[in-house]
Structure 1
Amino acid sequence: MNVLIVDDEPLARMRLIRLLAHDKSIVIKGEAGNGNEALLLIKKHTPDLIFLDVDMPGLNGLQVANELNNLALPPAVVFITAHPEHALDALQLSAAGYLVKPVTEQSLVKVLEQVGRLNKAHVQKQQSTKISYQLGGTIKSVELDNVYYFNAQEKYTNMVFEGGEAFIESSLKQLESQYPAQLVRIHRNTLVNKSKLLSLNTHGPGLHSVELMGCNDHLTVSRRELKTVKKILN
């Protein structure tokens, strides 16, 4: 489980990292000292779980959580604070758990068990994500897991999936925002399914393309997105 820790107190972050080290299933992807930095890291790493301090200068934890609720598949959030009176606000934001400082090993174990149950439901929801399209006057849908890539073409977006392709009205920007955990931009005109990425090929100086599992199309990778693609494949 990929985890992000957000707290403006370095000692509090260190304590939580030390306690989490006992759970080998957890990978700490990063730390943030404020809300704005947290949102950037969330977009970059798409963590499964965020330990989020409520009381921070600037954008506080409740405001960050409110932003996360706009995502199609937001990560699980465990709030951490020295003020128990914030519990009601946290629960209203669909928090997966709540920890009071100083965090103890016993309370952490308990909340991780709860998050584990929620995370299974989260994964099932992710796997059942469908994209709708119209074909011959009939509304159909395809599992996002079965989509190879999306390509922008004038006013529409072409969706290529296992068994065919179809035009949809959603823009690449909208799709990228709705499904950040599943899709990655490889070019200003193209989003691909991360789970389908097979290899990165170099054809000359500054010329790159990717191959997707089960798809014969070779898709151009822009210089701007090259680093991101390499990171995913590594």
Structure 2
Amino acid sequence: MSVRYLIVDDEAPSRANLRLALGAHADWRLMAECDGAASARTALAAQEIDVIFLDIQMPAESGLVLAREVSRMSEPPLIVFVTAYSEHAVDAFEVHALDYLLKPLSDARLAQTVERIGAMLGQRQREAYGAALRDYVDAGADKAVERLQRINVRSVGRIEQIRVDDILWVESAGNYVELHLDGRTVLHRITLNRLEALLAPEDFLRVHRSAIVRRSQIARLETVGDGSYRLTLRSGAAVAVSERYLHALKSAM
């Protein structure tokens, strides 16, 4: 499958680095290089584009202005944000299942992005992607995570919106978390520490280095045979409790 892409970056060396890196992928076709949002609009109007590599920090117009316009399209091209942003902004990308590349460019990270894009285009998930992109730009980009209401979860070739209100508890799984919902579990790529910083503390409570629970789910705390603690949730799930978080849990109860 041929992938038609657009590079939008005000810095010529950055455009060249990305063009040369993508040259290793024979089925990727560069349709245009643009030094700003204005020329990108012209390129988008003249031809069909599958993917936009979009620099966020540009002097005339922020890349986010163009991203907001693209998000309103019925079947928007996929956007890979190219940025030197802080970790807080990266949290927003991950929560909304959006791809990003950090400057300076990493070949390994670019290869992951190329693989993800291929899966998304193959499954024709443009509409779901458009909803995730609108969530991001409408909430104020890097501030999008401050009022977290939805998490856009990416699996192979698809994006699913999960309401934070539907999450019963969260368990760490390395660089991923397991979002435990009513009757099913969803895997999402973000660390537990990062997600904890985004969840409202009045709604969620850390009870273990590997677990966060919804406060309204807390049902019963008990000591088990080896002297450790176990929390039973209203859903019936049993969650280990560590000494570090025991006082806060007892206070919450």
TM-score, length of structure 1 as denominator length: 0.49
Looking at CA atoms only, which structure, 1 or 2, has the larger radius of gyration?
Answer: 2
Q: Give the structure with the larger strand fraction.
A: 1
TM-score, length of structure 2 as denominator length: 0.46
